[in-house]
Structure 1
Amino acid sequence: MSLFSKKQSKKRGQVMIIIVLFFVSISMVIIFGVVNPLVRHISMARSVSISEKSFYTAEAAIEDVIYRYKFGLPVVSSNTFEIDGSSVSVTVTDGLNNKVVVATGDTNNYFRKIEAHLTAGAGVSFFYGLQTGTGGIFMSNNSIVKGNVYANGNISGNNGARITGSAYAANSASLNTNQSNELPLPPTESIQFGSSYNAQDVAQSFMVTETAPINKIAVYLKKVGTPGNLTVRIVNNNGDKPGTATLAQGTMSASLVTTSFGWVEIPLSSNPELVPGQVYWLVLDGGNNTSKYYIIGANSDYSNGVAKIGNQSTSVWNNTSPSGLDFYFKIFLGGLTGTINKVLIGSDAHAHTVTNSTVTANLYCQTGSGNNKSCNTSLPDPSPEAFPISDANIAEWKSAAESGGTVGSLNLSGTSSSLGPKKINGNLNVSNGYVLNVTGTVYVTGDINISNNATVKLSSSYGSNSGVVIADGNIYVSNNAVFAGSGQTGSYILLVSTNNSSNAINVYNNAGTVILNAQKGTINFANNAGAKSAVANRINLSNGATITYESGLINVNFSSGPSGGYDIVKWKEVE
């Protein structure tokens, strides 16, 4: 090969290298042009993902605080913890009826901060020292209510019974025939009773359709010969036959009944409130004589009950003949007027009838006698006042308690512990100086007995909020047992019994910072007992019992339940 050829070949190799390097350079430029933004995008996406994790961590922490407020769980003012590998710091700052919650999420030093503003719910209002349903208020010697009193029934006092504020005794709803079986006339069937021992009495079951006190009853009957008077009873249901618990009774004079069918009305000595959907029995109870008895009109048209023939004293009842008959009757609800009798009243008195009372301010009534002044008839009679707590409120509190789990009966004595939220299947007994620190709503399916210097108080985490302890059974507070709030103004324990008995809540000493509620039953105060406020169907105050109302009860906020805990008014991300 010539020298020229070698030179030409070398030049061509150099050109090829240059071309290759050129294309490699261009390729690298293209690759970096594509890859670099992609890398930046991936890095940015990773940063966003980490940042979002910090955000959701902070948000979860805020939701945890709100959940705790809703269900009455403890909340600390400052806390740091981990959620799925991310750290979060939470601070809670108290304001006037509001809280500011700030949560800062931290994932690999990517920080996100969320701030929520919570305001206290509307609260439950306890406007009166005492408030009752149709059962009314009964005040024994020298018992005192320091505040106002409202009864959807009567207020009855005795020597030295005193109300420092105003007293209201409301009328019930207007009289109405709620249940009846009265047509056709003459009746197509009849039931004979009182002619033999096993057919001495007759009974008819019924159900009312509204919650109201029973006023009177009427029956459509005639007599054969000269039978004796009948005792007319309203009793409970016991396995599809009349029970033995008499809720109300009256006497039907035999002289009002003739030998022809006719309606006879019987007033009742007491006027309990009947509950819709619950089965009751109307019993006509008398003697037996083969020639002196009664016959009551009947048919088989009443859909809410059935008649039975039998003997109330032996609780032996049988079907009518023919079976499935319903006797003729009428159940009258409402129509009762409120009365106040023998009470010293420090402010105004409001009732249809006021007797034997001393009223410092205005006496508003339609009729009266034995008072220190005449009735001022310028105002209408007071109307029934609704209770401050509904069944739905109580159900929500029970749910809050159940969120903390369930245990069996507890017998606590001698030391101290914390409890709540918790459901107790059974009874709760606290005695002998034991200190029970309530950290959430407590629901007891049985009875509660607090005695012998025991203390039940709210955890300081409640702040200015109030807490709830509920029993489906009866509640007993005795021997210097006391209740206390969290230590802050406006914090109380609400003690609730859902029982409808005459011993729903029984207090034998001054119970301290507690509100008592037994809207279906009776609260009994004895031996100089007291509380801040009490609501029940009926309240009995024995000698020297004292209720001292506090103005703060007009708006009581609970950490869970009807006050709604806290409402969220602001939720935002901050720097």
Structure 2
Amino acid sequence: MMFKFIKKENGYVAFFVTILVLSALLGIAISIVILTLSIQKISANIIKSSQAYYAAEAGIEDSLLRIFSSINYAPSNTLSVGGATADIAIEKVSTSLTIESQGNASGRIRKLRVKAFITSNEASFYYGVQVGDGGLTMNGNAQILGNVYSNGPVIGSGNTEIHGDLYAAKATGVIDSMNIIKVGTEDGNAHAHTILNSDIENGAYYFDNTTIIGTTAGSLYPGSPDPEPEDLPISDIQINKWKDDAIVGGTIGSYSLNGGNDSLGPIKINGDLTIKSNSNLTQTGTIWVTGNFVLESNTVIQLAGSYGSNSGVIIVDGNISLSSNVVICGAEGYKSVGNTCYDNTGSFLMFVSNSSSCCNPASPAIWANSNTNAVILYTNSGLIRLGAAARLKEVTGYAIYIDSNANITYESGLANINFTSGPGGGWKIDSWEEIE
């Protein structure tokens, strides 16, 4: 009897062990199932979250492409990307840009923000006219309202006036037949090794009594040092950088606007740029012309309003010709009533010629005969000729020849002027971050 009881008890133990093992296996199986489902759910969330992120990123990239390529865009828009969407908000103020893009994939949200700005290069024009070794020639009744610095001789004629200070550099520096007018209490001075046949309201600074002839001055300062030559303010390196900015927009052949309105830039033009009479061109980026640039009479060229307070540039490897009645405006824009520009806000347009055409007034690198208040003319190696109708803000060249009655009025803000590639190019990413 005892033997049978023990055997029965052992059967119960085996049964309980079996139940325990099965329960453990079931628990493990349930845990594996729960873990697998959790992993699948996590994986699904990760996938959806990634889809939301990439949708947000696609919204950013699509917006940047449109803005950088001057393609139309809406400040608030939605982009579909696969099974996700991106809600995009674009804030563009002058030369700064903020884009926020919220990606949504089945309720999973990721949000990105990008900030960008238009790069600019500063150039300083401290004088109404700055001249290289070719020197400055002024004909009767021509006026410069601002200081003048020349590395070569300065030669005037009847009633030519400079309202400010005049410098002719080096031991070869000569000032001849000039009227130097005092604007403030300290200016109206002439500085040169030799001063001839001139009328100077303030001080005459010269080498010695043998180098001043036929000249009257408020004060005489013999024994003064010769002014040192000054480099022209824009290097060839900077000009080449602007050319690179233009290339960003592509390359075309010779371009001619024959009446009507058009926009152009950034662009490289392999050939000539011609703006014919009764045309209006809006510059939207840096322009590089490998040939010549001609602005015929009764034309308008202006910077796009998105330049803001920045300035723009057209680089020309050949010669530049500006006929009469050409209106050139900065980003303030053109006002048809009165055929003029709106009030200038510190934005200017600069024409740069790389031509070395010097120094025959009949074939200058730049020939301007326009009445405009928003243009700067510049050449490192050629001659600039200003016709009788010319009214300009600043002129810098290797040599300058000014016809009778021309007028240059210096703008004080040109001492620190920012040139940008414009709304169509030159953008730089400042930050790119996830914010949600």
* TM range, smaller chain: 0.7 to 0.9
Q: Provide the C-alpha distance between the structure 2 equivalents of 1:399 and 1:55, rounded to a whole number of angstroms.
A: 31
Aligned to 2:268: 423
Map of 1:396-475 to 2, 5 A cutoff? 396-475=241-320
Alpha-carbon shift at residue 81 of structure 1 (Å): 6.4
- What is the TM-score normalised by the length of structure 2? 0.80
Q: What amino acid does structure 2 have at the position aligned with 1:134?
A: D
Alpha-carbon shift at residue 371 of structure 1 (Å): 1.6
Map of 1:404-553 to 2, 5 A cutoff? 404-487=249-332, 489-502=345-358, 503-553=364-414
> 1:156-188: per-residue Cα shift (whole Å, max 9, x none)?
1111111111111111xxxxxxxxxxxxxxxxx
Q: Provide the C-alpha distance between the structure 1 equivalents of 2:201 and 2:80, rounded to a whole number of angstroms.
A: 65
Q: Provide the C-alpha distance between the structure 1 equivalents of 2:155 and 2:71, rounded to a whole number of angstroms.
A: 44
Q: Provide the C-alpha distance between the structure 1 equivalents of 2:376 and 2:318, rounded to a whole number of angstroms.
A: 17
User: Quick check: 1:420–1:438 contact (8 Å CA) kept in 2?
Assistant: yes
Q: Provide the C-alpha distance between the structure 2 equivalents of 1:34 and 1:101, rounded to a whole number of angstroms.
A: 43
Alpha-carbon shift at residue 113 of structure 1 (Å): 3.0
Which of 169, 176, 194 aligns to 1:353? It is 194
Map of 1:198-347 to 2, 5 A cutoff? 336-346=171-181, 347=188
Q: What amino acid does structure 2 have at the position aligned with 1:140?
A: N
Q: Secondary structure at the match of 1:25?
A: helix
> 1:343-397: per-residue Cα shift (whole Å, max 9, x none)?
1112222212222212222222213222213531465221111111111111111
Question: Among the aligned pairs, what percent are the same residue?
Answer: 34
Report the aligned-residue RMSD. Answer: 3.4
107-116 or 379-388, larger mean C-alpha shift: 107-116
Corresponding position: 1:32 with 2:29: no
User: Quick check: 1:368–1:375 contact (8 Å CA) kept in 2?
Assistant: no
Q: Secondary structure at the match of 2:421?
A: coil
Alpha-carbon shift at residue 51 of structure 1 (Å): 4.8
Alpha-carbon shift at residue 30 of structure 1 (Å): 2.3
Which of 198, 204, 212 aligns to 1:363? It is 204
Q: Provide the C-alpha distance between the structure 1 equivalents of 2:401 and 2:225, rounded to a whole number of angstroms.
A: 27
Q: Secondary structure at the match of 1:360?
A: strand
Q: Provide the C-alpha distance between the structure 2 equivalents of 1:92 and 1:437, rounded to a whole number of angstroms.
A: 23
Aligned to 2:103: 106
> 1:194-242: per-residue Cα shift (whole Å, max 9, x none)?
xxxxxxxxxxxxxxxxxxxxxxxxxxxxxxxxxxxxxxxxxxxxxxxxx
Q: Secondary structure at the match of 1:486?
A: coil
Q: Secondary structure at the match of 1:518?
A: strand
Alpha-carbon shift at residue 53 of structure 1 (Å): 2.1
Aligned to 1:163: 162
Aligned to 1:276: none
> 1:472-500: per-residue Cα shift (whole Å, max 9, x none)?
11111113112111106111111111000
User: Quick check: 1:57–1:88 contact (8 Å CA) kept in 2?
Assistant: no
* C-alpha spacing 1:412/1:90, structure 2 compared with 1 (3 Å): same
Q: Provide the C-alpha distance between the structure 2 equivalents of 1:27 and 1:353, rounded to a whole number of angstroms.
A: 105
User: Quick check: 2:246–2:421 contact (8 Å CA) kept in 1?
Assistant: no
Q: Provide the C-alpha distance between the structure 1 equivalents of 2:430 and 2:251, rounded to a whole number of angstroms.
A: 34
Unaligned runs of 5+ in 1: 1-7, 172-335
Work out which of the two has the higher radius of gyration on C-alpha atoms and give 1 or 2.
1
Q: What amino acid does structure 2 have at the position aligned with 1:382?
A: P
Q: Which structure has more helix as a fraction of its residues?
A: 2
Alpha-carbon shift at residue 18 of structure 1 (Å): 6.4
Q: Provide the C-alpha distance between the structure 2 equivalents of 1:456 and 1:36, rounded to a whole number of angstroms.
A: 67
User: Quick check: 1:62–1:101 contact (8 Å CA) kept in 2?
Assistant: no
Aligned to 2:337: none
Q: Provide the C-alpha distance between the structure 2 equivalents of 1:372 and 1:451, rounded to a whole number of angstroms.
A: 44
User: Quick check: 2:60–2:114 contact (8 Å CA) kept in 1?
Assistant: no
Aligned to 1:147: 146
Aligned to 2:4: none
Q: Provide the C-alpha distance between the structure 1 equivalents of 2:189 and 2:435, rounded to a whole number of angstroms.
A: 55
User: Quick check: 1:105–1:112 contact (8 Å CA) kept in 2?
Assistant: yes
- What is the TM-score normalised by the length of structure 1? 0.61
The number of residues matched between the two structures is 393
